[in-house]
């Protein structure tokens, strides 16, 4: 009997395998295609899924690779382009959250006309602003996608892996993936690493509260342990001093959004205790704070630039003070429309002639976002910049996961930009674009589902219904 049944069973299994292979091949074909497919509905859902996966990949790559992030940014644009529908896109573009990033990019482009610099410098000045063009398209796409959470989970997991590697390379520097200057920094630099670790740390805080209230103690403990891991890394391994400005602000935002008065009081009491404990147990942090005074004294004494590194002293404090003073003068020379796109380095080069010490230092980044914009595009640029930040803050004024993440991203960028030009920096700029674009689209989608804003609903239902049914 078994001998008679065996060929039939094998035949059945073979047919089953063949069917599975054909199905997998069809799915793979649909997943890879961007323009067409044998089944219009499935191909359309495949295109939307491809966009989601590309954005997830970008979020995962961001803490690790600049080149991969840049390539994926271009890929995402070409993936979104064939899925665009005119009326829903125009509806998205009419929102200030989309219009103002475009206005800033347009101002940078027009600003090349009155910049008294070579065209190469002007084009280089446009480059940091180009990434802002992705915000409207991400807002548009994630109003119809149900996978926005994947993007932030991918970023969190990627940062957690980076944090683990950071601890490893602190004791085994030969395992670094790049020739970084700072100990405990496997790739890129300590400023980028601090920015992402601080964001993840505070973003996890509401998860701990919610999971604890739901009596899911193991999950709450896991989230708390991960947040504490980010904190410990910043306290004992490496951290940007800018974090001392924006982390307290982020904690205040957390308290205002998620805690009552009693819980807020406990949070700030715990923060003070934690800060004191870290201060007395972390020689690294004490040294970083104490260095500010030393750096300032070197600056006041007009010590030659080369002597800073011979004395193992960072010039960063003096550089910022010098950059800010000069930038204010450049802004005063052209207060309305600025000196033009890409003019910062040329202005510093002209001013450095005959100078010594840090006054002879030349930069294209004044390490302050407002001054960076003011020097190039004057009061006009400042108005557009702050209007954009304000529009994005209003975009995330509601409750829910998306609004929480988006609000944190905007607040962190705004306050870290007091000491840096983080909106125009590659890493922090992409964190802002992803946070605002993805979380903003999720927030708008939630409002549409609640019936508050009907725009894009028709397209979301038409293009994403079958995909959504597959998820839920």
- pLDDT (tens digit, 9 = 90+) per residue, 134-157? 999 999 999 998 899 999 999 999
Could you tell me if 51 and 83 are in contact, meaning their C-beta atoms sit under 8 angstroms apart?
Answer: yes
Could you tell me the two tokens for 219? 């999950």
Q: What is the pLDDT of residue 182?
A: 85
Task: Return d(Cα 371, Cα 343) in angstroms, integer.
Answer: 12
Residue 36 has pLDDT above 60, yes or no: no
Closest by CA to 410, choosing from 78, 97, 61, is 97
Average pLDDT of span 338-356: 91
Q: Calculate the dihedral angle through the C-alpha atoms of 167, 270, 212, 468, rounding to the nearest 10 degrees.
A: -60
Residue 443 has pLDDT above 70, yes or no: yes
Could you tell me if 236 and 170 are in contact, meaning their C-beta atoms sit under 8 angstroms apart?
Answer: no
Q: What is the pLDDT of residue 131?
A: 95
Average pLDDT of span 62-78: 93
Q: What percent of the chain has pLDDT over 70?
A: 86
Residue 370 has pLDDT above 60, yes or no: yes
**From its phi and psi, is residue 357 left (phi > 0), alpha (psi between -120 and 50) or beta?**
left
Residue 39 has pLDDT above 70, yes or no: no
Q: Which 3 state secondary structure label does DSSP give 353?
A: coil
Q: What percent of the chain has pLDDT over 90?
A: 57
Highest mean pLDDT among 16-25, 206-215, 387-396, 463-472: 387-396
């Amino acid at each position: 009997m078994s001998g008679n049944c065996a060929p039939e069973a094998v035949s059945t299994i073979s047919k089953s395998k063949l069917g599975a292979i054909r199905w997998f091949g069809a799915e793979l074909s649909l997943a890879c295609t961007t323009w067409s497919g044998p089944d219009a509905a499935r191909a359309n859902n495949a295109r939307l899924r491809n966009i989601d996966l590309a954005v997830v990949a970008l979020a995962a790559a961001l803490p690790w690779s600049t080149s991969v992030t840049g390539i994926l940014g271009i890929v995402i644009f070409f993936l979104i382009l064939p899925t665009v529908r005119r009326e829903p896109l125009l509806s998205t573009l009419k929102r200030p959250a989309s219009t103002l990033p475009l206005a800033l990019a347009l101002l940078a482009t027009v600003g090349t006309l009155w910049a008294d610099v070579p065209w190469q410098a002007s084009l280089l000045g446009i480059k940091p602003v180009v990434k802002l063009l992705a915000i409207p398209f991400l807002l548009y796409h994630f109003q119809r996608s149900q996978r926005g959470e994947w993007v932030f989970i991918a970023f969190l997991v990627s940062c957690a892996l980076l944090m683990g590697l950071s601890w490893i390379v602190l004791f085994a520097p030969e395992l670094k993936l790049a020739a970084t200057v700072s100990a405990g920094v496997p790739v890129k630099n300590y400023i980028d690493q601090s920015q992402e670790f601080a964001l993840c740390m505070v973003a996890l805080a509401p998860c701990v509260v919610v999971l604890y209230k739901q009596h899911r103690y193991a999950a709450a403990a896991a989230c708390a342990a991960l947040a504490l891991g980010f904190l410990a890394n910043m306290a004992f391994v490496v951290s940007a001093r800018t974090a001392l400005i924006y982390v307290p602000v982020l904690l205040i935002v957390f308290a205002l959004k998620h805690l009552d008065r009693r819980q807020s009081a406990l949070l700030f009491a715990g923060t003070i205790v934690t800060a004191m404990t870290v201060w007395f147990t972390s020689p690294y942090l004490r040294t970083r704070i104490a260095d500010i005074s030393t750096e300032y004294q070197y600056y006041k004494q007009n010590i030659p630039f080369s002597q800073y590194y011979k004395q193992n002293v960072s010039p960063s404090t003096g550089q910022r003070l010098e950059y800010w003073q000069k930038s204010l003068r450049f802004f005063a020379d052209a207060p309305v429309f600025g000196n033009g796109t890409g003019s910062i380095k040329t202005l510093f080069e002209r001013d450095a002639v005959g100078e010594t010490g840090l006054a002879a230092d030349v930069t294209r980044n004044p390490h302050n976002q407002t001054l960076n914009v003011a020097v190039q595009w004057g009061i006009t640029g400042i108005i557009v910049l702050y209007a954009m930040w304000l529009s994005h803050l209003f975009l995330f004024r509601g409750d829910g996961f998306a609004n929480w993440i988006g609000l944190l991203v905007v607040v962190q960028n705004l306050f870290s930009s007091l000491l840096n030009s983080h909106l125009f920096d590659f890493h922090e700029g992409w964190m802002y674009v992803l946070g605002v674009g993805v979380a903003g689209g999720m927030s708008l989608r939630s409002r549409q589902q609640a019936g508050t804003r009907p725009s894009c609903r028709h397209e979301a239902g038409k293009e994403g219904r079958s995909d959504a049914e597959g998820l839920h």
